[in-house]
Structure 1
């Protein structure tokens, strides 16, 4: 598919703390945050829980399943934990839940990078509202941070998801993506004060996650983290789709960086599906290269390729851009869709600026914006990178509260470029995308919250009344059950049963 458009989405685990209580239990705090949002005044989501029935987290893309008895507990994401308002489905089609020790917002599935940014930013507003509601109800200040490390050895993820064709050989996916993921840090990194998992060395690096990756390929997400994750759980038609679960990205607050992260990755996947990527960029040591590039904000360090050549992270990105440009020219000529043209124009512009004056991108890329701010403090107060005040600013940068988060203040002051309309983001807090099955999920939860007992990405379970049996509707096609297909049906239905009767033909299971 010679376009950036495909099914995609973003999952973000938020850092969490209780003011004045550094040793407070983060699991309990996370539950309080989810509960605060799920039970806020006027809510319609508090009764809809997550459906684990079709999840298979131990299935590996390399062709086997990990035995449950030897899996790490963190991998057993299909096991039901405490369900007291700690795992809910929102009216915008998203999932809000406690993932181990963090509250997580998983956006609904969308079809474009711009929509991915919109519904990811809606998650920021959801979390900010949860923080405010929790403070109102308890008087205690739980804070959330859209970042990926606390600077003390803990890391938590921002995961991207992309659907691609099942028939693409997995080895081809790994070969094509590994050098790209190592190189793309130069425009996707969120910036971090400190080097090493435990901040063993002072300094500033491009990304928050690079130091926490230890292998090239694997199934784990919280230990022995791999550059390429092998979870084979498409949440869609198993014969048709594979879901690429990307765990190596940072949590982006800048729209431009987030748009490029999603858009460029989708384009690389398109080239992999078309077998249009040359296999000449194999890295000699991808894990080491990841750190080398992240640890050098000057962007001059080189990494070794398997054939002996050396390239910078920026060189790797230009190589992928040129391949994408050639591929799109062959496939589409000048007839690019608007989303693809936007990503290609942004991509070349950002790479050019990184090669000439990276600080010119302080309004577009997270790591550059953060570095510009911190360098200002360093120059003013004569601070060394080991100064605790810089680490505190690093954390405060990502505070979700609009009056506290440094990024939000800079954006409000016009110093960070917005790509998506703020009004669209506010609307996306409560309304689902219209062109995927998330439309049906969100609309049913909004209209009939008492009857929609469970939902997941590919199923909805409805119990219309105490006297009726539950009915499961399977939704294996992400592009089905959108507004064009079911909007009139949902709008005209007198109750949820009327919708299900059409969807499943009255059989009770679709």
Structure 2
């Protein structure tokens, strides 16, 4: 790969997020509780009715589908900047909440007084886990396992800056108490091709969704779902910076660990960041020291990185929040980040309730508060209420999220997919779409393969759209 292509990758990177939502329904009249499978059928009824499938691509370029375990899931369109990705991730919340409100109307029409709840968290009440997966495009010239080894120290300690927090249960040698990450107890390997059996931090399954001679897709499954926009920005923005530095050949501190996965649960239970991590070369380093050294390298990198993709000004905001969060951990004074970091915001809420119900972390009221924090419904969920009252900080705004709900990113391949889907829906044309292919099924099949996720313009797609228009009468457009 040429140095010019490598530069393009570290300066402008395709990134996407997959969010799985927990789902339940509560009967308002004391009637029977619907199973997750039953609720999911109500949730996806309008989708199946319209598309004859529970797995579709939408006009904003994202994928909406029903995942294993009756979890609604949104995979964002390909984005090439941080705020663009955040807007589309937040639009996903709105998309599934609209379906939930429609499901409640359908339940009422069937004589069922039920409220549908969607939770953007990662663990249910009986310990089942579901994920928030991050996808980062990297160059094929970088072996993913080698890249993963460089990333692992950062990834296992990243929970300190962007965990969602939760009331941890006792077990596995740990007492009940607060943990900073929901996913830390759910991953079992550092790097693996498995996803559900072993749950690695980094998944190496080779699915680039693009030109496999040029690209790899790094699939990160250790991160928590973020309710806070600022926490999301720190989670993804810090990772983007580390990937940029690795691809650009920036020398980073050698923190290769003897047993990285063996430390991740300890870190989750130590808000001081002082967990000692055994290094492969001998000696130890603390989780906080890993983050501080990585942050220091990122601050230097900001002064020389090409100002492409995510603007350097945005990444300065990331580094500022990263700096303040590490200072808060070092001093244990979280007052400068208590409107921005999910686990800090949640811990403050839980501590207020603990003052009322006692110090015992096993009190059921605390578990209720924990879960309510992740309810995505405006006016009902705890975090949406905090946001509506101006008690937490934001990174973007409602207008930008609203636009992302209906329009694909204009700077990536998703723009082509969005145009194609919107045209097909307007005409009622039979089409098939995935991340790479756009196919018209009738009157004669025609397909375009899009192997470059950076490319928002393609004359072949223009011809495909013209073909749709030429056959509008055959599709029965009114």
Band of TM-score, shorter chain: 0.7 to 0.9
What is the aligned partner in structure 2 of residue 55 from structure 1? none
What is the aligned partner in structure 2 of residue 506 from structure 1? none
Question: Does residue 1:447 correspond to 2:423, yes or no?
Answer: yes
Tell me the CA shift for residue 284 of structure 1: 2.3
What is the aligned partner in structure 2 of residue 12 from structure 1? 19
**For residues 96-115 of structure 1, what are the structure 2 equivalents within 5 Å?**
96-101=64-69, 102-115=71-84
Question: Does residue 1:379 correspond to 2:389, yes or no?
Answer: no
**Cα deviation digits, residues 126-185 of structure 1 (max 9, x gap):** 111111011012223331100000131200010000101001123321221100101110
Cα 1:13–1:461, aligned 2, differ >3 Å: closer, same or farther? same
Question: Does residue 1:183 correspond to 2:157, yes or no?
Answer: yes
Cα 1:116–1:486, aligned 2, differ >3 Å: closer, same or farther? farther
Tell me the CA shift for residue 489 of structure 1: 5.0
CA contact (8 A) 2:61 2:415 kept: yes
Tell me the CA shift for residue 313 of structure 1: 2.3
**Residues 399-408 or 214-223, more deviating:** 214-223
Cα 1:472–1:348, aligned 2, differ >3 Å: closer, same or farther? same
What is the aligned partner in structure 2 of residue 407 from structure 1? 383
Question: Does residue 1:480 correspond to 2:455, yes or no?
Answer: yes
Measure, in 1, the Cα distance between the counterparts of 2:375 and 2:311: 38
Measure, in 2, the Cα distance between the counterparts of 1:457 and 1:443: 14
CA contact (8 A) 1:4 1:264 kept: no
Cα root mean square deviation, aligned? 2.7
Question: Does residue 1:337 correspond to 2:312, yes or no?
Answer: yes
Select which of 10, 23, 29 maps to 2:39. Answer: 29
CA contact (8 A) 1:131 1:142 kept: yes
| Count of aligned pairs between the two proteins | 450
Cα 1:200–1:498, aligned 2, differ >3 Å: closer, same or farther? farther
CA contact (8 A) 1:7 1:478 kept: yes
Aligned to 1:360, the other structure's residue is in SS state coil
Measure, in 2, the Cα distance between the counterparts of 1:196 and 1:439: 48
Question: Does residue 1:92 correspond to 2:64, yes or no?
Answer: no
Select which of 187, 191, 212 maps to 1:217. Answer: 191
CA contact (8 A) 1:436 1:481 kept: yes
What is the aligned partner in structure 1 of residue 367 from structure 2? 391
Measure, in 1, the Cα distance between the counterparts of 2:252 and 2:174: 38
TM-score, scaled to structure 2 = 0.87
Select which of 450, 453, 456 maps to 2:434. Answer: 456
Measure, in 2, the Cα distance between the counterparts of 1:223 and 1:24: 28
Question: Does residue 1:291 correspond to 2:260, yes or no?
Answer: no
Tell me the CA shift for residue 28 of structure 1: 4.2
What is the aligned partner in structure 2 of residue 67 from structure 1? none
CA contact (8 A) 1:152 1:197 kept: no
Measure, in 1, the Cα distance between the counterparts of 2:205 and 2:362: 38
Select which of 83, 93, 104 maps to 1:124. Answer: 93
**Cα deviation digits, residues 326-347 of structure 1 (max 9, x gap):** 34435569x9733333333332
**Residues 236-245 or 378-387, more deviating:** 378-387
Measure, in 2, the Cα distance between the counterparts of 1:275 and 1:138: 56
Cα 1:86–1:199, aligned 2, differ >3 Å: closer, same or farther? farther
What is the aligned partner in structure 2 of residue 280 from structure 1? 254
Select which of 164, 168, 193 maps to 2:142. Answer: 168
Measure, in 2, the Cα distance between the counterparts of 1:260 and 1:498: 47
Tell me the CA shift for residue 248 of structure 1: 0.5
Cα 1:459–1:496, aligned 2, differ >3 Å: closer, same or farther? same
**Cα deviation digits, residues 292-325 of structure 1 (max 9, x gap):** 1111223333322223433332221111112223
Aligned to 1:448, the other structure's residue is in SS state helix
Measure, in 2, the Cα distance between the counterparts of 1:202 and 1:119: 36
Aligned to 1:361, the other structure's residue is in SS state coil
CA contact (8 A) 1:92 1:442 kept: yes
What is the aligned partner in structure 1 of residue 221 from structure 2? 247
Measure, in 2, the Cα distance between the counterparts of 1:409 and 1:31: 28
Measure, in 2, the Cα distance between the counterparts of 1:399 and 1:371: 17
Tell me the CA shift for residue 351 of structure 1: 2.4
Tell me the CA shift for residue 291 of structure 1: 0.7
CA contact (8 A) 2:271 2:329 kept: no
Cα 1:498–1:8, aligned 2, differ >3 Å: closer, same or farther? farther
Cα 1:32–1:301, aligned 2, differ >3 Å: closer, same or farther? same
Tell me the CA shift for residue 384 of structure 1: 1.3
TM-score, scaled to structure 1 = 0.82
Measure, in 1, the Cα distance between the counterparts of 2:335 and 2:280: 32
Structure 1, unpaired ranges of 5+? 40-45, 48-83, 500-510
**For residues 194-209 of structure 1, what are the structure 2 equivalents within 5 Å?**
194-195=168-169, 201-209=175-183
CA contact (8 A) 1:31 1:86 kept: no
Tell me the CA shift for residue 452 of structure 1: 5.0
